[in-house]
Each structure stands twice: as structure tokens, then as C-alpha cells.
Amino acid sequence: MIDRPLRIGIAVLFSCALNTAGCGPQSGTVLDEAMRAGRTADSLPAADEDYFRDMDRGLSKDPRAVGAALPFLSEADAIAAFVKGRNNWIVWTGGNDRLWDYLANHSFGSLDFLKTLSSHPTQRAKRQNRWYELGLVNEPCFEQATGPNPDRYGLWLDRRIPTPECPPDPFENANRYPGVQIGARGKNIPVGSYYGEASGIVGLRLLPNPDFDQRAQARWDPVRFYEDPTYYQDRDLVRPYRVGMSCAFCHVGPSPINPPADYENPRWENLNSNPGAQYFWWDRIFFWDDRGRERKLPACRRGRSHSQPR
């Protein structure tokens, strides 16, 4: 028998479901940052550079094979669709950086992707052992930070290695892919690209935090961010970047037929777009400081994600 308070609660929830106008904003009325800034879908075109052409056995280098897989398109259109689709899969984060930034400030210090991306001495997982400790895929063409980067607000983030084999990330081009100008963007911080910037981990992108205004910038202390819990656990802390997550974070993995010689330092030809995150250490990724937690979360081990068949 359901008691009276529970019946009342169920009735209220059912009423809300029938009449969303009385229980919050209606579907379609909540505007994201791009819409608030007056951007349309046409102003956010898909990137067409074949930057990841060495991935997936170099499939995009073979127009005939791609065309055969998409027989309803011409070879040229098939390649264009394939390239744009893979680019979006790997670098488009769709505005979810707002979610992860919110969780960083409302999860009691548990989740913080800026910490996950860092190689500060206080971090258990750094670039040199990120695959082993977290099961995350290091992005090719980067090296581990050995100190604070003044160009990254003092954060210990991976540094890109400029070589002929490692051209600039085309998706960072803010002239071709201008980001959403809102808040502090375009004032004391760059607007950036709507694809953000490469972070050193495949599937995580760095976007300028529009809440990082002059007041927040004056309060920012990268040393305390890594070393002082009273600072980095402050729910009012504003970080200079928000971290966006693309599909690639949970799907890109080592190629089963051309795996990397060094899993901490793969090349693009060693990676496939969709093997899935069967190597994730879920507790270590979503609890960046997992000291003492492994005994409490014995089930959150390396294993299959939603992308893996059962």
C-alpha cells in the first residue's frame, strides 16, 4: 500500500509531466549560448580538413572504398561526408563544456577535467602514464608538461610539438571557425574557435570560459589550483577554460591491427574511431583524486562502456 505522502509526490510529478509550463521552462524555450549570441546553425559549418586521414587504416585516402561504402553518394560527396563526420566525432563537443564545468564546481572536488589533463607533480596520472593509469588516449603530437605554461594561465597542460609530421590543428582556426562571443570572450580572453583547442587527450577540447572575466582572472591562482583543496574545491571558482567532451573520448581507441608500439605515445595511424572505451578506469577518470576510493568503488574498474557490446 502506497502511503499518502508518496501518493502526493507521484501526483505532483505526474502533473508536472502533463503541464511543463507550470513546473519549469517549456521544451524549446531554453537557449544555449550560441542562440543567445545570435548564432545560427549555418554559422557553425562542419570542418572539412582531413586532419585524421591516417586513422582508421587510412580509409579516407581511398575514395573508391569510401564510395563503395556509401553507394548513394558520388565518391567526392562520400569522402566529404566521411571527413566531416569523423571530424565532428573527434573534435565537436556541442556546448557540453558548460555541463562539465558545472560538475567541476558541484561535485565536491571529485570531477575536474582540467586536473585530468594536467601533468602536475601532485597528479597520479600524467601524460607519461595516462594510458596505464586512466585508459585514456594521449593525442599524438604532444609532449608532457614539465612546468607551468604561462600561455595556459599557469596550468600544467600537454604541449604541442611543432614538426613537419605534426601540422597545426586546423580546428583551432578562429578565423575559419569563429567561436561564440559571449561573456568575457573577446574582452579579456580570446573568443577562440567553436571547436576549441586540442588538449593532449583525444576527445577533450579546451574552450575559453566566458565566465573568466577580469575579476575571476585576478583571483586565479594556478599553484593553489593544484595544491590547495580550499581553493580548488570552492564552488565559486572560475577556471580559465571549460573542457568539452566529444564522442571520441569514449570511442577512439588503439587499432587492433596496427596498435601503437608505445601506448602512451600513439601515432594517428595507430588509432581507430570507434573501438570503444574498454580500457577506461571509470573511477579514476570521474574522480580525479581517487586516493582511498578504490576500496569503496570495487565495481568501477577498467571495463566496457555503453559503446561496447555485451
Distance CA 109, CA 265 (A): 29
26 pLDDT band, cuts 50/70/90, is confident
pLDDT band at 185 (very low <50, low <70, confident <90, very high): very high
Most confident of 19-28, 71-80, 100-109: 71-80
In angstroms, the CA 31 to CA 189 distance is: 23
CA-CA distances (angstroms) from residue 98 to 102, 263, 291, 295?
6, 31, 27, 31
**How much is the mean pLDDT over the chain?**
88
**Confidence check: pLDDT of 272 > 60:** yes
Across residues 169-190, what is the average pLDDT? 97
Predicted confidence (pLDDT) at residue 9 exceeds the cutoff of 80: no
pLDDT of residue 287: 86
Whole-number Å distance between alpha carbons of 292 and 42? 49
Pairing of strands 271-272, 197-198: unpaired
Q: What are phi and psi of 77, to 5 degrees?
A: -70, -35
pLDDT score for 308 = 46
- In this prediction, residue 119 carries a pLDDT of 97
Dump the DSSP string for 223-268: HHHHH-HHHHT-TT---SEEEEE-THHHH-EE-SSS--SSTTS--G
Q: For residue 298, what pLDDT band results from cuts at 50, 70 and 90? A: very low
Residue 249 has pLDDT above 80, yes or no: yes
Identify the pLDDT of residue 165: 87
Radius of gyration for the chain, computed over Cα atoms and rounded to the nearest angstrom: 21
What confidence category does residue 107 fall into, taking pLDDT thresholds of 50, 70 and 90?
confident
**Residue 180 to residues 97, 104, 216, 298, Cα–Cα distance (Å):** 13, 22, 20, 42
Whether residue 109 is predicted with pLDDT greater than 90 in this model: the reply is no
Average pLDDT of the residues in 40-57: 96
Confidence of residue 290 (pLDDT cuts 50, 70, 90): low
pLDDT confidence band for 3 (50 / 70 / 90): low
Q: For residue range 79-93, list pLDDT tens digits in order.
A: 999 999 999 999 999
What pLDDT sits at residue 84? Answer: 97
Query: Residue 174's Cα: distance from chain center in Å?
Result: 18
Q: Which of 18-32, 95-109, 132-146, 269-283 has the lowest average pLDDT?
A: 18-32
Query: Would you place residue 307 in the very low, low, confident or very high pLDDT band (cuts 50, 70, 90)?
Result: very low
For residue 45, what are the contacts with CB-CB under 8 A and spacing of at least 6? 177
| Residue pLDDT, tens place only, 210-221 | 999 999 999 999
Q: pLDDT confidence of 23, banded at 50, 70, 90?
A: low
Locus of grid cell 566531416: 84
**pLDDT for the residue 226:** 96
Tell which residue, 276, 246, 293, has the closest CA to residue 91: 246
Average pLDDT (271-283) is 87
Residues 141 and 54 sit within 8 Å (Cβ to Cβ): no
